[in-house]
Amino acid sequence: MAITRQDTIEYFRLEGARNLLKFYGRYQDNIPDDAPEWKKELFPVVRGIWNSEMDGGRSRYEIGAQLRTAADLFEIHPDGSHHALKNFPMGYPKERTAAIFREIADYVEQWASPLDWEAISNTPISARELIMRFPRLSNILPLYFGQDGAAVSDDMQDASTEEGIRMYIDETHPGCPWNLPAAVAECHEALALFHTEDQLDRFFCGAGMHGGSGSDDFTDFLPPLRPPLQRAHERVPLTDVGTQVNYDEGQSAHHAYPFRHLPRPRNRPMGHPAGRHRE
């Protein structure tokens, strides 16, 4: 049976919950019916979600709601045959799957109520948690600089690091204002988080990402990666934040990005409800 648009929507509607539990689908067959065991496994992942939530990522409450939706579907389709349940692990025993998913939903939603700073500080940071910090580098490094420097295109098999960077920038256009500044920020974060070449190499080339840095060490690769990304972004200056982005002369008009203009907030009178303005 052909996959419909609705099938795709229903599948990706549960992507946050699927990512939370993907360790069990990839490395283990089932989620054990033992709360202390799965809590130990999921703690650093939920901590990563909590951290990325502060940067605008999925909230724990969204993921909790997705887990409950999956639990409802498992009650109707206990064999996991519904298309939205593809790539979800099941509980052990299988008849406990829906109940386990709801218990995990409770855990995710209540994880920070209150925050257990002792557990947060004493639980080692996992690769799955760290990779949430690098959504763009996790695509750039494996695709353009993985496999000993071979880029994604056959024409780039013998490409230099500079040619790989240029190829990424060219393929990012015209989405530069959304992608390049964040990619530059991730380069800075990587160098702030990992202090040695060995740490950088073990994470970005190892189980965490399976990426690469071309023919260079990461300590030599990441700093030079930032200037060309930044220069490419600066060719698309934000002339009036909240209005539009103007490109250099010579670029076609359809490459301009219209933004919804946001009115300047008015001063609220003392005692006036927050978020409302008197006309």
Angle made by CA atoms 123, 129, 133, in degrees to the nearest 5: 130
Reported as half-sphere exposure (CB side, CA atoms, 13 A), residue 171 has a value of 13
Residue 249 is encoded by which pair of tokens? 């002369």
d(Cα 184, Cα 189) in Å, to the nearest integer?
9
Which of 103-112, 149-158, 188-197 ranks highest by mean pLDDT? 103-112
**Spatial CA neighbour of 183 closest among 225, 145, 152:** 225
pLDDT higher than threshold 50 for residue 122: yes
Average pLDDT over residues 245-255: 39
CA distances from 268 to 11, 193, 211, 242 (A): 44, 41, 50, 22
Residues near 227 by Cβ (< 8 Å), separated by ≥ 6? Answer: none
pLDDT number for residue 224: 59
The residue written with tokens 């098999």 in the block is 157
User: Any idea what DSSP says for residue 74?
Assistant: H
Average pLDDT over residues 177-194: 87
The 10 Å Cβ neighbour count of residue 83 is 15
Give the containing element (helix H, strand E) for 20: helix 15-20
d(Cα 212, Cα 150) in Å, to the nearest integer?
9
Contact between residue 157 and residue 225 where contact means Cβ atoms under 8 Å apart: no
Residues near 41 by Cβ (< 8 Å), separated by ≥ 6? Answer: 23
pLDDT number for residue 28: 66
Lowest mean pLDDT among 211-215, 217-221, 238-242: 238-242
Lowest mean pLDDT among 1-10, 234-243, 256-265: 256-265
Contact between residue 232 and residue 169 where contact means Cβ atoms under 8 Å apart: yes
Residue 88 is encoded by which pair of tokens? 């979800």
Q: Is the dihedral of CA 189, 191, 196, 198 positive or negative?
A: positive
pLDDT per position as a tens digit, 7-47: 999 999 999 999 999 888 665 679 999 999 999 999 999 99
pLDDT number for residue 276: 36
Average pLDDT over residues 249-269: 36
Query: Residue type at 22?
Result: K
Give the model's confidence band at 164: pLDDT under 50 very low, under 70 low, under 90 confident, else very high.
confident
Contact between residue 42 and residue 107 where contact means Cβ atoms under 8 Å apart: yes
Give the model's confidence band at 262: pLDDT under 50 very low, under 70 low, under 90 confident, else very high.
very low
Contact between residue 257 and residue 246 where contact means Cβ atoms under 8 Å apart: no
**Spatial CA neighbour of 147 closest among 159, 134, 130:** 159
pLDDT higher than threshold 80 for residue 93: yes
pLDDT number for residue 231: 57
pLDDT number for residue 219: 78
Helix (H, G, I), strand (E, B) or coil at 30: strand
Mean pLDDT across the chain, nearest whole number? 77
Q: Is 99 buried (19+), middle (13-18) or exposed (0-12) by CB count in 10 A?
A: middle
Q: Flag whether the pTM goes above 0.85.
A: no
85 or 151, which is more confident: 85
